[in-house]
Structure 1
Amino acid sequence: MVDVEKVLAQVEKDCRRTGRRLTEKRKQVLIGLLKSERALSAYEIVNYCKWTYQTSFAPMTVYRILEFLESEKLVHKLHITNKYVACSNICCKQEHDVAQFLICDSCGSVKEVSVDGSALETLKNNAEHVGFQVKSPQIELHGLCQNCCSKEQAH
């Protein structure tokens, strides 16, 4: 589990250093994603904030906050499902490889792993070979997590 307080302290420090503000609303959205075991839609985040903080956010406000958090490399958007997850390397200062997301179709959990640069180059080259230009190298794979596989095998 993520140490939310430690992550928030680091993110606030980084934002101050770059002149960006981690407002209370931005913090609340980020906390929701940090605490979630699965990806959340903007509407699920609206509900989380409503129940957790007794505040009402318009969905467009949440989308703007998510855009900010994504631009700061604090969250990732899962394009296939139009949902968001906190970056698993949120406190890491170095550049990361391309993100690969393993999304469980049963429980909705998401794991982020890095793709080796050479593997990505192979994928890009294959795409270019057939006249396709890759715009987003992010990879999203759907399947079953270890926990759900075990449950399925037990039945």
Structure 2
Amino acid sequence: MPNPSLAVTFAKAEQICRNNGVKLTTKRKNVLGVLLNSSKPLSAYEIVDLYRTAHQESLAPMSVYRMLDILNELPLVHKLSSENKYLACSHITCDHEHQVPQFLICKSCGKVAEKAIQASVIEALKESINQADFQLLNSQIELQCLCNECANPS
């Protein structure tokens, strides 16, 4: 029996796509599903392997990258630049305005937590960057951490 929370997430993802003039094709939905079912961020090549296992169908890595680019723009997925991996947005089903995400990445086990950054923090960073005669291109923050399980093994 299908996971009811996945059905809700896919319905919201379809609505987000429709609102942005994008079609959530079966393959895009399946790629999103691979990420939703993963407990850790995945590379495009890992997605290709898991997709093949789950759907008995091969996808070219370049096709997966194009799908990820589209899903990232919406944003239904996020790209972790420091890891060159992707994860499903943890706020797909939320109805509130999303803040800038920060990602806490466990360097030991690879687990990632997505947390919002207050707009005032980003504005302070932008001001500091502007004072240094630079311009901010991406406000996503990726922090290298240890999760409590890895920091305090039993």
Q: Do they fold alike, i.e. is TM over 0.5? A: yes
Match of 1:37 among 12, 36, 39: 39
Matches of 1:6 and 1:103, distance apart in 2: 27
Residues of 2 paired with 1:17 and 1:115: CA distance? 25
Quote the offset at 1:130 in angstroms. Answer: 1.7
Q: Show the counterpart of 1:79.
A: 81
**8 Å Cα contact 1:107/1:148 also seen in 2:** yes
Aligned to 1:107: 109
1:85-122 Cα deviation digits (max 9, x unpaired): 11111122332111000011111111100001111112
Tell me which of 8, 20, 25 is aligned to 1:23: 25
Shift of 1:18: 4.7
* Cα deviation 1:1-48 (Å, max 9, x = unaligned): x92121012222443455432111101110011111111110110011
Matched residues, number: 152
1:106 maps to amino acid: S
- Map of 2:62 onto structure 1: 60
RMSD: 1.8
Structure 1 unaligned residues grouped into runs of 5+: none
- The aligned residue for residue 134 of structure 1 is 136
Q: Percent identity?
A: 47
Structure 2 distance, partners of 1:131, 1:74, is 33
Q: Normalized against structure 2, the TM-score is what?
A: 0.90
Q: Distance in 1 between matches of 2:57 and 2:70?
A: 20
Aligned to 1:70: 72
Q: Which amino acid aligns with 2:97?
A: E
Matched residue, 2:51: 49
Question: How far did 1:64 drift?
Answer: 0.7
| 8 Å Cα contact 1:98/1:114 also seen in 2 | yes
SS of the equivalent of 1:108 reads coil
CA distance in 2, matches of 1:13, 1:123: 33
- Counterpart residue number, 2:118: 116
Q: Is the 8 A contact 1:99 1:139 kept in 2?
A: yes
Pick from 3, 6, 14 the counterpart of residue 4 of structure 1. 6
Give the gaps of 5 or more residues in structure 2: none
Partner of 1:144: 146
**Cα distance between partner residues in 2 of 1:49 and 1:13:** 23
Does 2-11 or 87-96 show the bigger shift? 2-11
